[in-house]
Amino acid sequence: MMNLNQVTLPVLNVKQAIEFYTKLGLELIVQSIPEYARFVCPDNGSTLSVHRVDTLPQGDGIWVYFELENLDEYVGKIQSQGIKLDEMPTDKPWLWREARLKDLDGNQLIFYTAGGNRINPPWRVGNTK
């Protein structure tokens, strides 16, 4: 059995990243400033960590998807915390509803809801429907 448990993001300032990710609703569980911090997603126990780097990766960087049941309500909540989104909730052609923003270090964060289409889109390989 395999389960994705954690993703680690490169950041320039761990203390600022802690403030940002706690505003998004993640719970801080490990703090080792100035090098590292780890958060847990309150609904399922998966974790996200940040690790200090001297230089950020070049190019498109890292993309992290957070699945939500009520995307629009969540977006309203984080906006009230002062978080600015790059893209408001939008229905996508791949049958997901997504909102996007970048963290302080340019990592792409996508908040989405997809229902059954997350794992079983109509074009899934082997789908006989």
| Domain residue ranges of the chain, discontinuous segments joined by + | 6-118
pLDDT tens figures, 7-25: 999 999 999 999 999 999 9
Nearest to 21, CA basis, from 47, 44, 3? 47
Q: How would residue 45 be classed by pLDDT, with cut points 50, 70 and 90?
A: confident
Are the C-beta atoms of 32 and 18 separated by less than 8 Å? Answer: no
Average pLDDT over residues 23-50: 95
pLDDT in tens, 86-103: 999 999 999 999 999 999
Lowest mean pLDDT among 11-15, 46-50, 107-111, 116-120: 116-120
Q: What is the pLDDT of residue 123?
A: 92
Which residues are CB-contacts of 93 (< 8 A; sequence separation ≥ 6)? none
pLDDT at 129 (0 to 100): 55
Banded pLDDT at 3 (limits 50, 70, 90): confident
Average pLDDT (30-54) is 95
Nearest-angstrom CA–CA distance, 120 and 26? 27
Mean pLDDT of 56-85: 94
Report the Cα 74 to chain-centroid distance in Å: 13
How is residue 98 written in tokens?
Answer: 């997504």
pLDDT at 109 (0 to 100): 96
C-alpha span between 105 and 90 (Å, rounded):
24
Summary mean pLDDT of the chain: 94
Q: What is the pTM of this model?
A: 0.91
Residue at 76: amino acid letter: G
Query: The tokens of 95 are what?
Result: 């049958």
- The CATH architecture annotation of domain 6-118 reads Roll (3.10)
Amino acid code (one letter) for 121: P
d(Cα 65, Cα 105) in Å, to the nearest integer? 16
